[in-house]
């Protein structure tokens, strides 16, 4: 049973595959910019992610394993990423 | 024949944490120089390397990046250097893309982007020893064929592969550069490049047989929400202990050295004016700043070692939420922490913050962290006015006031940051996203080289900025001479004395006497100098050694309200010309430096005003 969630809603230990980067509401300059920066950091469709660590306050920020590297970001930014969890990955 | 004399130039480009700086250090050794690019405060690192035929090559180290697309001033400069469009900078003949061999995915995409620039390229797979240890199999020939550039392997820390790298650069330089086709890639183009990088990975790189498990294990503890924070505070505790205790012998040594030099000059130089300039102006002034060099070096030693270890990114992760509450970036944590020893290394360390707004906010509040130069002033005033009693049975009242002064600085820094966020830069939240690099043992030689670099920058600044300022302050407090038969200390009759009396009406509402204003003027050179000047003004010889005597004099002369007001003033006032000089250099803007100075003086005045009047109302006038 796989389902698609926002990365910002993921909990420690969740793993899945990125299915969408960016909110696709491209009227806002900073949304476009954020999407490109996420992509440049390797957060691209098809990348395997696992949520490794959460911060103490509000479980924020989060540390992820993205393919074979580790990346930290805030849940605020993670909200523009969708991942599919519970699949074969 | 221009081509014969012109040295071949190449630039190192790569992701952060690819060991690019280590490679630069290994290539150039001590033949490097660090300056700023013309007109901007972006560090320009250049060095010389011996080529195969004895001719030297010029290598430039560019800041680590994931893309040529520029978001900050640093990245703009890097992009323009790579593209060869920066005025006054010769374009590099060859680009060397430096990769962490164990972490190739992102750098392959960068390499594909760099290829569009059209310049001959070489790919350097650095940290190749770690890749081999992990059993990572890379098909170098296949990768080289598909990328269309030579691929060499290097181990910067052991100087392996360097001749091969240089030979490849020289070989590539024979090819002519093509017209650049580079443009800022769109999201769709980044996605396409990622797919191509993924294909290259699948085709030429076998996943490691023994992957790095240490980083994961360490992170389980170091990024643990509770244990991680506890360890971070433990690390900071050790750092502070080191800065305040290990540095003491060296600081005492420097102080004694300057004192000896002063004595010797005092005895040797017969001309009174020259002696005063040398002993009081130069040696006294520069000595009072250089004495902080051991502390500054220790802070930088910790920062550089922790950065190379890979821990700094973790510290930013752990502190991001806490700092974010005040509108600060996680990366602002270490610079602010360093400012407790001295704002100068703290402000210099803000270079790790990429976004200009976050960096400027951090610089603006850095001096509110109580630096060690304020300790002598606080100690003196507390000894004079706060009774040495205990409250609630066990808390020393004097210690409590000291703690209050530190806390006052921190709380007001957070408030200022909040105000800046709310008023100046509303709604702009810089995203916090960064790579958490694999832990690596720092290379001692590379750490020491970077430390030496920082020391050189500090010393240069001491010479260029601090020295002239010290001479001005000395002249103000020396000329004109007191008239015949004058009874008061000489400084009373000097320009500083006149300014003190002239400015007295401005400072009267906050309870300062003109003698105090006089002490503030030379105190601009460095905060703790005010103690020595108060000693001079109140005719207490050797005030720094005889804090007790001076404290008694002050306790008789000032009211309690004045003493408290002076403390409140010192929490905020930018009483330190070297700091202002560094702010000017790092912000690169007269307007921002002016804002920095004015807002801090205004806060100081306001805080002292409120403190004084509340104290007077409570009967402490």
Question: Could you tell me which residues are beta bridge partners of residue B60?
Answer: B11, B46
CB contact under 8 A, A73 and B433: yes
CB contact under 8 A, B106 and A42: yes
pLDDT score for B412: 94
CB contact under 8 A, A74 and B225: no
Residue A26: closest C-alpha in chain B: B187
In tens, the pLDDT along B40-73 reads 667 788 999 999 888 899 999 998 889 998 877 7
In tens, the pLDDT along B570-586 reads 999 888 888 898 898 88
CA distance B466 to B174: 48
Residue B395: C-alpha distances to residues B381, B391, B563, B567 (Å): 19, 5, 21, 20
- Cα of B231 to nearest chain A Cα, Å: 14
Place of tokens 């995203």: B431
For B116-182, where are the alpha helices, taking DSSP H only?
128-133, 140-147, 162-172
CA distance B533 to B32: 42
Nearest to B103 among A33, A60, A68 (CB): A68
Chain A neighbors of B105, CB-CB under 8 A? 42, 67-69
User: Which H or E element spans position B391?
Assistant: strand B390-391
Tokens linked to A60: 């924020």
Per-residue pLDDT, averaged over B113-140, amounts to: 94
Q: Are strands A15-21 and B151-153 parallel, antiparallel or unpaired?
A: unpaired
In tens, the pLDDT along B397-454 reads 888 888 889 889 999 999 999 998 888 777 667 788 889 999 999 988 888 988 888 7
Q: C-alpha angle B321/B322/B323, rounded to 5°?
A: 95
Tokens linked to A6: 């926002």
- Cα of B423 to nearest chain A Cα, Å: 20
Give this complex's ipTM: 0.94
Disruptive mutation site among B190, B210, B215, B218 for chain A (greatest number of A CBs within 10 Å): B190
Ranges assigned E (strand) in B395-462: 395-396, 433-435
Q: Does residue B384 surpass a pLDDT of 70?
A: yes
pLDDT score for B258: 86
Per-residue pLDDT, averaged over B450-472, amounts to: 76
CB-based contact A49:A17 (threshold 8 Å): yes
What's the pLDDT band for B461 if we cut at 50, 70, 90? Answer: low
Within 10 angstroms of residue B540's Cβ, the number of other Cβ atoms is 18
CB-based contact B468:B286 (threshold 8 Å): no
CB-based contact B320:A61 (threshold 8 Å): yes
Question: Shortest CA distance to B343 belongs to which of B405, B295, B401, B302?
Answer: B295
What's the pLDDT band for B237 if we cut at 50, 70, 90? Answer: confident
Mean of per-residue pLDDT scores for chain B: 86
Phi, psi of B74, deg, nearest 5: -55, -50
Size of interface A-B (CB pairs under 8 A): 114
CA distance B578 to A89: 57
Nearest to A70 among B71, B320, B436 (CB): B436
CA distance A80 to B1: 57
CB contact under 8 A, B431 and A37: yes
Residue B41: C-alpha distances to residues B348, B456, B584 (Å): 11, 17, 10
pLDDT score for B129: 94
pLDDT score for B491: 76
Residue A18: C-alpha distances to residues A5, A53, B544, B602 (Å): 10, 18, 64, 51
Residues 6+ apart with CB under 8 A from A20: A45, A81, A82
Q: Does residue B498 surpass a pLDDT of 50?
A: yes
pLDDT score for B3: 46
Nearest to A41 among B316, B320, B435 (CB): B435
Nearest to B321 among A22, A38, A60 (CB): A60
Q: Does residue B108 surpass a pLDDT of 50?
A: yes
Q: Which residues of A touch B (CB under 8 A)?
A: 21-22, 32-42, 44-46, 52-58, 60-61, 63, 67-74, 76-77
CB contact under 8 A, A36 and B433: no
Chain A neighbors of B15, CB-CB under 8 A? none
CB contact under 8 A, B105 and A68: yes
In tens, the pLDDT along B25-44 reads 999 987 888 777 776 667 78
CA distance B616 to B560: 9
- Cα of A1 to nearest chain B Cα, Å: 27
Successive 10-residue mean pLDDT values, chain A, 89 residues: 91 94 74 89 94 93 94 93 79
User: Which H or E element spans position B94?
Assistant: strand B94-100
What's the sign of the alpha-carbon dihedral B438, B442, B446, B452?
positive
What's the pLDDT band for B254 if we cut at 50, 70, 90? Answer: confident
Tokens linked to B438: 């694999």
């Amino acid at each position: 049973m796989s389902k698609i969630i926002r990365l910002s809603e993921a909990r420690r230990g969740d793993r899945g595959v990125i299915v969408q980067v960016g909110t696709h509401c491209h009227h806002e300059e900073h949304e476009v910019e954020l999407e490109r920066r996420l992509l440049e950091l390797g957060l691209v469709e098809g990348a395997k992610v696992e949520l490794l660590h959460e911060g103490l306050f509000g479980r924020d920020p989060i540390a992820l394993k993205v393919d074979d590297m580790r990346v930290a970001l805030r849940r605020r930014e993670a909200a523009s990423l969708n991942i599919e969890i519970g699949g074969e990955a | 024949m221009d081509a014969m004399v012109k040295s071949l130039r190449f630039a190192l480009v790569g992701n952060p944490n690819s060991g690019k700086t280590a490679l630069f250090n290994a290539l150039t050794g001590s033949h490097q120089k660090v300056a700023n690019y013309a007109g901007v405060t972006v560090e320009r690192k250049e060095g010389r390397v011996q080529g195969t035929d004895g001719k030297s090559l010029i290598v430039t180290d560019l800041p680590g990046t994931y893309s040529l697309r520029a978001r900050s001033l640093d990245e703009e400069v890097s992009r323009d250097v790579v593209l060869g469009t920066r005025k006054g900078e010769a374009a590099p003949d060859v680009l060397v893309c430096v990769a962490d061999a164990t972490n190739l995915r992102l750098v392959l995409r960068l390499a594909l982007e760099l290829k569009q620039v059209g310049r001959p390229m070489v790919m350097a797979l650095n940290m190749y020893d770690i890749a081999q240890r992990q059993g990572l199999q890379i098909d170098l020939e296949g990768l080289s064929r598909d990328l269309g550039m030579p691929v060499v392997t290097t181990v910067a820390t052991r100087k392996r592969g360097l001749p091969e790298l240089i030979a490849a650069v020289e070989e590539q330089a024979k090819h002519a550069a093509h017209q650049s086709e580079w443009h800022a890639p769109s999201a769709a183009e980044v996605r396409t490049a990622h797919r191509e990088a993924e294909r290259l990975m699948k085709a030429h790189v076998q996943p490691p047989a023994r992957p790095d498990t240490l980083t994961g294990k360490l992170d389980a503890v170091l990024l643990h929400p509770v244990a991680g924070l506890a360890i971070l505070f433990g690390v900071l505790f050790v750092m502070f202990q080191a800065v305040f205790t290990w540095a003491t012998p060296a600081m005492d040594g420097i102080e004694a050295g300057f004192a000896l030099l002063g004595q010797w000059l005092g005895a040797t130089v017969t001309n009174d004016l020259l002696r005063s300039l040398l002993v009081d102006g130069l040696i006294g002034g520069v000595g009072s700043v250089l004495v902080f060099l051991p502390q500054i070096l220790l802070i930088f030693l910790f920062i550089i070692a922790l950065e190379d270890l890979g821990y700094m990114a973790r510290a930013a992760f752990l502190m991001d939420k806490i700092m974010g509450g005040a509108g600060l970036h996680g990366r602002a944590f270490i610079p602010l922490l360093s400012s407790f020893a001295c704002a100068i290394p703290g402000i210099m360390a803000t270079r790790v913050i990429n976004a200009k707004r976050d960096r400027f906010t951090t610089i603006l509040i850095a001096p509110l962290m109580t630096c060690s130069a304020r300790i002598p002033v606080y100690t003196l005033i507390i000894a004079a006015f706060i009774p040495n009693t205990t409250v609630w049975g066990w808390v020393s009242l004097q210690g409590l006031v000291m703690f209050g002064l530190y806390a006052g600085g921190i709380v007001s820094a957070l408030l200022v940051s909040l105000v800046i966020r709310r008023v100046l830069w509303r709604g702009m939240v810089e995203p916090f996203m960064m790579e958490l690099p694999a832990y690596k043992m720092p290379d001692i030689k590379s750490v020491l080289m970077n430390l030496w670099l920082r020391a050189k920058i500090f010393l240069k600044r001491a010479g260029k900025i601090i020295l002239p300022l010290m001479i001005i302050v000395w002249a103000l407090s020396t000329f004109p001479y007191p008239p015949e038969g004058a009874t008061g200390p000489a400084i009373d009759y000097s320009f500083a004395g006149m300014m003190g009396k002239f400015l007295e009406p401005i400072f009267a509402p906050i309870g300062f006497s003109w003698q105090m204003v006089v002490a503030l003027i030379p105190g601009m050179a460095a905060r703790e100098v005010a103690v020595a000047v108060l000693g001079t003004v109140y005719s207490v010889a050797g005030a720094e050694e005889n804090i007790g005597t001076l404290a008694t004099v002050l306790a008789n002369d000032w009211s309690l309200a004045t003493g408290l007001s002076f403390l409140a003033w010192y929490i905020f006032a930018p009483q330190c010309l070297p700091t202002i000089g560094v702010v000017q250099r790092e912000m690169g803007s007269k307007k921002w430096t002016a804002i920095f100075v004015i807002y801090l003086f205004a806060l100081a005045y306001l805080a002292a005003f409120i403190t004084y009047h509340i104290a007077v109302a409570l009967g402490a006038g």
